[in-house]
Amino acid sequence: MNTLGKSSGAYTAQKNSGILIKSPREIKIMRSAGQVVALAIEALKEAVRPGVRTIELDAVAFEVITKNGAIPSFKGYRGYPASICASINEEIVHGIPGERRLKEGDIVSLDVGAIVDGFHGDAAATLGVGEISPEAQRLIDTTRDALWAGIKAAKKGGRLGDISATIQKYVEERSFSVVREYVGHGIGRNLHEDPSVPNYGEAGQGPLLRTGMTLALEPMVNAGGWQTKLLSDNWTVVTADGSLSAHFEHTIVIGDGGAEILTLP
Ligand code: MF3
Ligand code: CO
């Protein structure tokens, strides 16, 4: 739900009952949607290089999604015009693909969603373009590993706040900041369902994690402060201080023996 804007951490008030538990049959479909998203991200990793235009990356993802019989989740969502989001450097999320060419040293966050049989998968990764600075690499590594730490904390019988607090701690211990105004989300027949999944919070707080809950965890991590700005295109979210930002996302399902990642290839 990183599109829904200001969320100000009201999730603790959310009732467990708003969260839809998926049946094994529905989870199987979400696994298929997740696989399409994973394939698209793999194709994007191959396609990212200095000189490529982000609109070309959008075409690569669209091709993979549709060839696999799926529908892009984002196209037309609240009027969003493309199949992926491509957010460069200080852009955090929701960058609209266009004529801009990636250049050596840039980092680019690519976010992909796909629908199979009515269910969504959603994932994102930040990639370096050619050689990048050590600090940019450290930001990328920290964001990816914060997501993994959050996934490990997503356990049946735990609380949603366990995930949030784990991600926040992992990031802040490395002197980066987590974005507050955009958050992860439940996912299923809708791209964004209850609950909100903030990347900050208190362990032991929030809804109980139950088998069959499907969540999109998506830490957005800034090298500088956590504050954001919205560009005049009304989509692109950037860091208020112009610092670099990275974003990793996976769709997961809470299982009996820990979380299963649905968007791994
Ligand atoms: N992963 C993002 C999210 O959950 C992507 C949404 S892009 C949009 O909000 F175009 F669909 F808004
Ligand atoms: Co998402």
Residue-wise pLDDT tens digits, 94-136: 999 999 999 999 999 999 999 999 999 999 999 999 999 999 9
83 CA from centroid of ligand 1 (Å): 10
Fold that domain 24-261 belongs to in CATH: Creatine Amidinohydrolase (3.90.230)
Which two three-digit tokens encode residue 35?
């696989």
CA of 191 to the centre of ligand 2 (A): 7
How far does residue 261's CA lie from ligand 2's centre (Å)?
14
CA gap 222, 91 in Å, rounded: 10
Q: Residue 3: pLDDT band by 50, 70, 90 thresholds? A: very low
Q: Can you tell me the mean pLDDT for 175-199?
A: 98
Q: In which band, very low, low, confident or very high, does the pLDDT at 139 lie, cut at 50, 70 and 90?
A: very high
Query: At residue 218, does pLDDT exceed 60?
Result: yes
Q: Is the pLDDT of residue 82 over 90?
A: yes
Using a cut of 0.85, tell me whether the model's pTM lies above it: yes
Q: Is the N-terminal amide bond of 195 cis, ω within 30° of 0?
A: yes
Residue list, ligand 1 pocket, CB within 6 Å: 1-3, 74, 77, 80, 85, 94, 111, 122, 124, 185, 216, 218, 249
Sheet holding 237-239, edge to edge: 91-93, 237-239, 228-230
- Measured in residues, the chain has a length of 265
With residue 208 as reference, give the H or E element that holds it: none
Domain boundaries, the chain: 24-261
Q: What is the pLDDT of residues 204-214, one digit of tens each?
A: 999 999 999 99
State the ligand closest to the CA atom of 2. Answer: 1
Share of the chain above pLDDT 90, in %: 94
- Amino acid found at 112: V
If you write DSSP's letter for every residue of 67-136 in order, what string do you get? Answer: HTT-EESSTTGGG--SSEEEEETTEEE-PPP-SPBP-TT-EEEEEEEEEETTEEEEEEEEEE-SS--HHH
